[in-house]
Amino acid sequence: MEHLMNKNVREIQISGIRKFYNLLTNYKDAISLTLGQPDFNTPEHIKIAAKAAIDNNKTIYTPNAGLAELREAASQYFKNKYLLSYNVDTEIIVTNGASEAIDIALRTILEKGCEVILPGPIYPGYEPIIRLCGATPIYIDTTNTGFKLNAAILKEKITDKTRCIILPYPSNPTGCILDHEDLTEISKLLLDKDIFILSDEIYSELNYKGKHLSIATYPGMREKTILINGLSKSHSMTGWRIGFTMAPEYITKNMIKVHQYNATCACSISQYAALEALVNGIDDAAPMKIEYTHRRDFTYKRLVAMGLEVVKPEGAFYIFPSIKQFSMTSFDFAFKLLDEARVAVVPGDAFSNYGQGYVRLSYACSMDVLKEGLDRMEGFIKKL
Ligand SMILES: Cc1ncc(COP(=O)(O)O)c(C=O)c1O
C-alpha cells in the first residue's frame, strides 16, 4: 500500500547530512568532521537541576506553551542578551528543539501556492516542511556575496506569492553572519511588505565578530518576525530538545494550536534543566566560544594553506571551503576523501544546489581530532 503514502511525504528526501553520516559507519577508522553538535558536555549545574526535577516528581505535563517560570526566564534572557522584548504570557512557546519551532512556525503561516525565500547554501531543515505545506522554496544564490543575503538580491526574488523569508544567521553551513548594514537594508526593503521573516538564531551565542543582532529589533520588523532560538548549541543541550518561538501575539496564538496538537508540551525535565540554564548559566557559552574561535582560526589557516578558497566564518562552528578547482561533485570529493584518507566531511549540496562545489567541515570536535583530520585532508589534496 505504499502508493497510499502522502505524496508530499514520499517526495521528501532524507537529509544529505544524515545520508553521509550513515555511510561513515562503514569506516571505523575515519575522523569525522561532520557533526552539528558541540563536543562539550552539558554544564554540570544544568544536569543537577534535571536530576532534581526527576527526584521531585516534576514529571507531568506542563502548560502547552511551557512552564511559566521558564518563559519568564527566556523573556529576561533574550532581553538582556539581544534587546528583544516578548510577553511571557502571549508571545513565547517552549518547543521540542529549534526543529519543532521551525515546524510549527512554517505550518502556521504557509499554505499551498505560497513561496518561501531561502538564501542558499542553507540548513536543510526548512525545505521539507515548506514542501509538506504545499508551498514552494525559492532559493537565492549567495555564493557570489560571501554567502550573505542582501537587500538587492532579495528584492529580485520577491513576488506577490512570497509569504516568508528565512534568515538563518549565524549560518549553518557557512558560518556567515549579517551585520548592522545588511540588516538595516533588508528591514527597509521589507518594511511595507506583508511578508513574514523566520529568523533562526540558534547560533546567536556563537558570534565571533561582536554581539549578535536580531532582525526583530529593527524598525517595523518585530510585527512580522517569528524568532527561533534554543539551547542546543548555546548550552550544549542537543539531546534535551529545548527550543523557543518568540513572535507577536497574533502569530503565537495560532502557532500554539499547532504545537498543542503536535507535542502537547516540551519534556518537563528538560524544561527544568532549561530554566537553570537561562537563570544561572547565562554565559555558559562563553568558554565554548573562546575554544571555537581558536579552532576556527586554526581550520581557516590550514584550509587556506592547502590552496582552498574559503570565506572566514564569523559564527556557528562550520566552515565551507570551495572544492571547485578539483572538478568533482561535492559528493565525489567527500566520498573519495572518506574512502582514501578516512576523513568525513559533508558534501555541500546537502545544503541546496547552491552548495554544489563546496564541502562543510565542522570544528565542533577536539583540537587533536581537528588537526589529524586536516593533516589527512592535506595529504589527500596534495595527491589530487
Ligand atoms: C540552523 C539550524 N536550525 C535549527 C537546528 C535544529 O536545532 P535543534 O537541535 O534545537 O532542533 C539546527 C541544528 O543543527 C541548525 O543548524
pLDDT reported for residue 13: 86
Rounded to an integer, what distance in angstroms lies between the CA atom of residue 159 and that of residue 79? 34
Pocket test for ligand 1, best of 202, 207, 240, 351 (most atoms within 8 A of CB): 202
Atom of ligand 1 nearest to the CA of 36: 14
Question: What ligand 1 atom has the least distance to the C-alpha of 243?
Answer: 10
Asked, as a colleague might, if the bond just before 248 is cis with ω within 30 of 0, I would say no
Bridging pattern class, strands 115-120 and 343-344: unpaired
Range of the domain at 298: 2-42+285-383
Q: How far does the centroid of ligand 1 lie from the alpha carbon of residue 54, in Å?
A: 26
- Looking at the structure, tell me whether residues 95 and 209 fall in a common domain: yes
Is the Cβ atom of 172 under 6 angstroms away from ligand 1? yes
Residue 299 confidence (pLDDT):
98
- Which of 127, 137, 213 minimizes the C-alpha distance to 169? 213
Does residue 120's CB lie within 6 angstroms of at least one atom of ligand 1?
no
CA atoms of 255 and 2, how far apart (whole Å) = 31
Query: Which residue among 280, 295, 324 closes a domain?
Result: 280
- Extract the runs of DSSP E, i.e. beta strands, from 259-325: 318-319
In the prediction, which pLDDT does 161 show?
98
- Last-in-domain residue among 234, 265, 280: 280
Of 214, 247, 280, the residue at which a domain comes to its end is 280
Please, are residues 270 and 115 in contact by the beta-carbon 8 Å criterion? Answer: no
**SS3 assignment, position 374:** helix
18 and 83 both lie in a single domain: no
306 shares a domain with 264: no
Q: What is the reported pLDDT for 2? A: 92
Contact criterion met (CB below 8 Å) for 319 and 299? yes
Ligand 1 in reach of 274 Cβ (< 6 A): no
Q: Is the distance from the beta carbon of residue 173 to the nearest atom of ligand 1 less than 6 Å?
A: no
Q: Does 353 lie in the same domain as 227?
A: no
Closest C-alpha residue for ligand 1 atom 4: 98
Segments of the chain with pLDDT less than 70: none
Residues 12 and 94 in one domain: no
Indicate if ligand 1 lies below 6 Å from the C-beta of 154. no
Helix axes 268-280, 44-55, angle to 10 degrees: 140
The finding on whether 230 has its CB within 6 A of some atom of ligand 1 is: yes
Residue 87 and residue 102 in one domain: yes
Pocket test of ligand 1: the residue of 232, 234, 244, 346 to mutate, having most ligand atoms within 8 Å of its CB, is 232
Residue 66, ligand 1, Cβ within 6 A: no
Is 364:299 a contact under the CB 8 Å cutoff?
no
Query: How many Å lie between the centroid of ligand 1 and the Cα of residue 326?
Result: 31
Q: For ligand 1, what atom is nearest to the CA of residue 231?
A: 10
* Strand-by-strand arrangement of the 346-347 sheet: 318-319, 359-362, 346-347
pLDDT tens, 193-209?
Answer: 999 999 999 999 999 99
Distance CA(112)–CA(131), nearest Å, equals 9
- Tell how far the Cα of 377 is from the centroid of ligand 1, in angstroms: 27
Residues 129 and 197 in one domain: yes
Tell me: do 56 and 205 sit in the same domain: yes
Residues 264 and 156 in one domain: yes
What are residue 250's phi and psi, to 5 degrees? -65, -25
How many domains would you assign to the chain? 2
| CATH code for the domain of 115 | 3.40.640.10
Could you tell me if the CB of 123 is within 6 A of ligand 1?
yes
Residue with CA closest to ligand 1 atom 7: 98
Check whether residue 132 and residue 190 sit in a common domain. yes
Decide whether any atom of ligand 1 lies within 6 Å of the 126 Cβ.
Answer: no
Establish whether residue 99 lines the binding site of ligand 1, counting it when its CB lies within 6 angstroms of any ligand atom: yes
CB count within 10 Å of CB 42 equals 20
C-alpha–C-alpha distance, residues 31 and 370, integer Å: 8
CB of 238 within 6 A of ligand 1: the answer is yes
> Can you tell me which residue has the cell 584518507?
341
**Rounded distance from Cα 315 to ligand 1 centre (Å):** 14
Same domain? 115 vs 239: yes
Task: Give the predicted TM-score (pTM) of the model.
Answer: 0.97
323: CA distance to ligand 1 center in Å?
Answer: 25
251 and 307 assigned to the same domain: no
Q: Compute the distance between CA of residue 223 and CA of residue 99 in angstroms, rounded to an integer.
A: 22
CA dihedral (20, 201, 72, 274) positive or negative:
positive
Query: Which cell is 114 given?
Result: 505560497
Return the CATH number at 362. 3.90.1150.10
DSSP assignments along 204-216, one per residue: TT-BSSSS---GG
C-alpha cell read off for 166: 528565512
